[in-house]
A and B are shown apart, each in its own frame.
Chain A
Amino acid sequence: MELLLNLIIYLPLLSIVGVLLVKSDEAVKWVSFLATSLTFVLSIPIMLNFDIANSAIPQFVTEGAPILAGMDVKYLVGLDGLSLLLFMLTTLMGPIVILSSWTSVKKSSKGYFSMLLLLQTASLGAFAALDLIVFYVFFELSLIPMYFLIGIWGGADRIQATVKFFIYTLVGSLIMLVALIYLGFHAGAASGVFNFTADWRFISSPEYTIGLVEQTYMFLAFALAFCIKVPLFPFHTWLPYAHTEAPTAGSVVLAAIMLKLGTYGLLRVTMPIFPNAFMEFAPWLAGLAVIGIIYGALVAMVQKDVKKLVAYSSVSHLGFVVLGIFAFNQIAVQGAIIQMVNHGLSTGALFLIVGMIYDRRHTRMISDFGGIAKSVPVLAVFFLITTLASIGLPGLNGFIGEFFILLGSFNSELYGNTTFAVIAALGVILAAVYMLWMYQRVMFGPLDKEENKKMIDLNAREIGLLIPLVIFMIWIGIRPVDFTQYSEGWVETFLAEAENKSITVLENSSSADVPEWTAKIYGLTDHAEESQIVLKD
């Protein structure tokens, strides 16, 4: 199994050699398709063999020797309840993304498919990495293929969009790197064995705690990097731009997988490692998330371009995920995890469908369409299911995630009151408004344009690539427990551990040892003074 996991991660990368060796464009596509399909097929036994009862413990772990003596930086991959579903989502999206690009790539298809395959390895590696340096390496590696995907095969404004995307993300992750290095030395000193360690299993364990001042700084650095990646309002400005200019496959991977690296990082790193700061800053970040939900929805409503609309809806949907994460209770966090998968499925599918429409009409302006449900009925059906899944219709996947998140947020002790949940619920209604309004303007109404009448319906390939997504949308919608069971144990364990850890840290700190602002933020009282008073009495 350990070997299989590594094989899954690196198979797409290895198949690039095949892509470069074969001669015809047709063969390039087949090699990439077979490689990613094989990756998916091979990942099924991983899911079946996953020990759900121990989902808090990383499984199928491969541990390399430390690459530097005295420094605990090593190749370390494995899956646990948090990463398993996202890992599976990534393997599933692989072949779908390749299929979706079958006819749309005109320029240098070798480069294009190599980049998609490299992106696949980078994403899989990032989800499986358990050493934070390894995580960082994969996290950054994913930037390179996406940079080229947008830059070479994107739309008219692609250059600005891709450079903005790259620099934005890089700034965040470099600041994270400094914090990561500091964390590594701090943890190394605490471990007593190494002078540097980035082993997540140790860093997240209850034995290792960090003082409040360091926690605050490191939390802010990590949170900044992840919030840019998510992207959380007000760091979102790169996203709609990148989405609109990216080729369909790029948008799909960006929305379905890469953005998840941000929310995944919040759960993987910030929650278990900096629990005090996490809990203290939760209302602030949740506030930004709620602003993002409403803002994204309102901006989506006025878009004239379908793809931009979907991009802004992404901002809104990911606001829900962040809201769930910071609500810090079982149901909300589990909702956030399943919502990451849901968003990957439904937004991924939306981008695919928008791409299909664009391939046919070479426009994405809502006003250019109208009534096309008559000319492309099959497409209309898929579009409808996906739209409904995206707005959270009960029975489809989106409902489960949003419902869990809202339920959790209503009861969240960290948020204190229900304001966040109430405003966020408004976002659900807005989502219905903009999505259905868009659907109505595109699909219904008079079919009055000549080009629209001649639109050809979906072919077998396109139907084939949408069907798996729809199956999972319905499956998650009807039997969510089949999926949420994987993360249940993980969330339970780490919520409890984070809470205990935060209490330990608070007990061990006193306002005498920390700067005033820290004492203020964390509401510290002076233990020393208290005990003196006791002595006097």
Chain B
Amino acid sequence: MDYLHDLSAFLPGIIVTVAGLTALLLEAFKKGADQIYYLSIGGLLVALAVAINSLFGETGTAFTGMIVYGGVAAFGSVIILLGSLFCVIVSKDYLQDIDLHSGEVYAMILLSVVGMLGLAAANDLITFFLGLETMSICLYVMAGLIKNEKTGAEAALKYFLLGAFATGFLLYGIALIYGATGHTNLDEIAAVAEASPLFLAGSALLLVGIFFKIGAVPFHMWTPDVYQGTPTTLTAFMATAAKSATFIAFVLILTRMLPGTEAGDWTNVLQVVAILTMVVGNLIALAQDNVKRMLAYSSIAHAGYLLVGLAAGTAEGYAGVLYYLFAYTIMNVGAFTVIAYYERNKGLDFTQIESFAGLGFKFPLMGVLLTIFLFSLVGIPPFVGFVGKYYVFAAAVNAGLIPLAIIGVLASAASAYYYLRVMVYLYFKDAHKEYTLKTPGALFKYTLILLAVMTVYYGIEPVLPISGLMELISSYYTI
């Protein structure tokens, strides 16, 4: 009975694991990549349905307290699965065009999703570490998928070396925390934690590891090179699903392991890192001519806005962060996918902004879609990005962090410049040569349209009621 209960608590993860392993087997038996592609979509869809179903179910812990389910974990799983699903769907057309459409890619995606789901459910530092490494190792492979080009090799090597380095910090932090408290379970650590130097040093190292994974300044150096060198749809996967998973785990650690005690008061650190991340991310993004690099720096900046919500340290703040992750996933997958679509056309380097000149009129639908995603990333109403920013900054204001909120909005005003710059090329410049764009596949196109519809719909009517979210969260732990 207990086993069944435990298994059902991690059901989405198990479904994805089975799908991932089946994908590997099918590949071994030399089945076509297409079959594995559809298998992955099917697996993710079923897992997503289960996760959505658990969203409003009970909450609790399973596997002798190693994981939590329901509440934050359930919402995190939904975001991760949603992001992964969209990335997988749009990957086929793109990967086919760059001759990388093979079964292993999808198997890798699925296995890293397992890691992410583990992260989003981690109630123990060991689960957290396992999830993080399962996810990261698959991501290292994806970063190096384009083997024939320097950027691909650079991305993989850089990501792996720096990632391994950060893992070192993380593990050392976990070890110190264990040394200070004698526990690895988050709840048990919280119960006995006191502000001893050992515990503080351990938490600090743990935070450094997390900051690295979410690409917060000053641990962001790997992000642009990795994002640029990775195949674009997989970049979208890294930038959304992987980042969301780490952030959810971060929320769990902040709220379960370091809740509101003297030992766990990292608000000041979070504030400083948030400011650095927003300012540096946005400023460097201003100077980018490569759209993928630009989106990489912008994703650093978005991590900064998310940190603002965490710095607020209230139920509102955490709920805001969750909503922001949802918004960010939708619009960022959308933006990367349109870039991936342009990249499929040969002859010009469509990651360079100059190549975008006049494209908006060439295939109007894609131009309009990119415009919607970009405006949403700026945070202009009525798009979902505005709602996300609104919640995060509202939480900061309500927690009395008004200067932080002001720096945040000013940074996001600066971000408008580089997002607008893409549109300047898209619409305001004349195309420099005759060029006809490919027609996107039906599934590709409709997925993008669905993403755009969600971007607008959740911007106008944030039906995922944040109060409901907050109930979920507060039923889950007390602040």
* Chain B residues within CB distance 8 Å of chain A: 361, 364, 375, 378, 380-382, 386, 390, 393-394, 397-398, 402, 405-406, 409-410, 412-413, 416-417, 420-421, 423-424, 427-429, 461-462, 465-468
Contacts and interface: CB of A to CB of B under 8 A. Distances in A.
Contact of B380 (A108, A143, A167): A143
Nearest to A137: B381
Given A69-B468, A144-B375, A152-B427, A182 B410 contact: no
B17 to A, nearest CB: 37
Contacts of B420: 147, 163, 166-167
A368 B465 CA distance: 61
Q: Is the interface of B mostly helix, strand, loop or mixed?
A: helix
Nearest to A178: B405
Contacts of A140: 380-381, 386
Contacts of A166: 416, 420
Contact of B428 (A137, A143, A159, A196): A159
B380 A181 contact: no
Nearest to B316: A195
Interface in A136-185: 136-137, 140-141, 143-144, 147-148, 151-152, 158-159, 162-163, 166-167, 170-171, 174-175, 177-178, 181-182, 184-185
Contacts of A144: 375, 380
Contact of B465 (A69, A111, A163, A170): A69
A137 B462 CA distance: 14
A185 B394 CA distance: 9
B394 A136 contact: no
Contacts of A141: 380-382
A246 to B, nearest CB: 13
A163 B424 contact: yes
B294 to A, nearest CB: 16
Contacts of B423: 147, 151
Interface string A101-132: 00000001001000000000000000000000
A181 B394 contact: yes
A181 B387 CA distance: 12
Contacts of B413: 167, 170-171, 174
Given A147-B423, A159-B429, 15 more contacts: A67-B462, A68-B466, A69-B465, A69-B467, A69-B468, A71-B466, A71-B467, A137-B386, A159-B428, A163-B424, A170-B416, A178-B402, A181-B397, A185-B394, A185-B397
Contact of A152 (B375, B410, B421, B428): B428
Report, nearest first, the 4 A-B pairs whose CB atoms are least far apart: A174-B409, A137-B381, A69-B467, A151-B428
B462 A68 contact: yes
A458 to B, nearest CB: 32
Contacts of B375: 144
Contact of A175 (B381, B409, B466): B409
A177 B409 contact: yes
A70 interface: yes
A170 B386 CA distance: 13
Nearest to B470: A70
A113 to B, nearest CB: 14
Contacts of A171: 410, 413
B417 A181 contact: no
Contact of A182 (B386, B397, B421): B397
B361 to A, nearest CB: 6
A141 B459 CA distance: 12
A235 to B, nearest CB: 14
Given A67-B462, A69-B465, A151-B427, A181 B416 contact: no
Given A67-B462, A151-B427, A178 B409 contact: yes
B397 A174 contact: no
A492 to B, nearest CB: 34
Contacts of B428: 151-152, 158-159, 162
Q: How large is the interface on A (under 10, 10 to 19, 20 to 34, 35 or more residues)?
A: 20 to 34
A171 B410 CA distance: 6
Nearest to A189: B398
14 contacts: A111-B364, A140-B386, A143-B380, A151-B427, A163-B421, A166-B416, A170-B380, A171-B410, A177-B409, A181-B390, A181-B393, A181-B397, A182-B402, A185-B397
Contacts of B467: 68-71
Contacts of B378: 170
B402 A167 contact: no
Contact of B412 (A159, A174, A182): A174
B161 to A, nearest CB: 39
Contacts of B382: 137, 141
Interface in A48-69: 67-69
B465 A185 contact: no
Contacts of A175: 406, 409-410
B324 to A, nearest CB: 15
A225 to B, nearest CB: 11
Contacts of B390: 177, 181
Contacts of A174: 409-410, 412-413
B321 to A, nearest CB: 16
B417 A167 contact: yes
Interface string A460-481: 0000000000000000000000
Contacts of B410: 171, 174-175
A125 to B, nearest CB: 10
Nearest to B397: A181
A181 B396 CA distance: 10
Contacts of A158: 428
Contacts of A143: 380
B436 to A, nearest CB: 17
Interface in A35-85: 67-71
A68 B409 contact: no
Contacts of A162: 428
Given A163-B417, A174-B410, A181 B361 contact: no
Contacts of B466: 68, 71
Contacts of B381: 136-137, 140-141
A507 B176 CA distance: 58
Contacts of A167: 413, 416-417, 420
Nearest to A182: B397
A151 B405 contact: no
Interface string A18-32: 000000000000000
A364 to B, nearest CB: 21
A71 B461 CA distance: 14
B49 to A, nearest CB: 26
A181 to B, nearest CB: 5
Nearest to B469: A68
A392 to B, nearest CB: 38
B409 A108 contact: no
A143 B382 CA distance: 11
Contacts of A70: 467
A342 B375 CA distance: 34
Contacts of B393: 177-178, 181
A476 B83 CA distance: 58
A284 to B, nearest CB: 22
Contacts of B421: 163
Nearest to B411: A174
Contacts of A170: 378, 380, 413, 416
Contacts of A111: 364
B400 to A, nearest CB: 10
B336 to A, nearest CB: 22
B455 to A, nearest CB: 13
A344 B387 CA distance: 33
A302 B110 CA distance: 68
A159 B424 contact: yes
B122 to A, nearest CB: 29
Contacts of A71: 466-467
B384 to A, nearest CB: 13
B167 to A, nearest CB: 38
B413 to A, nearest CB: 5
A265 to B, nearest CB: 16
Contacts of B380: 140-141, 143-144, 170
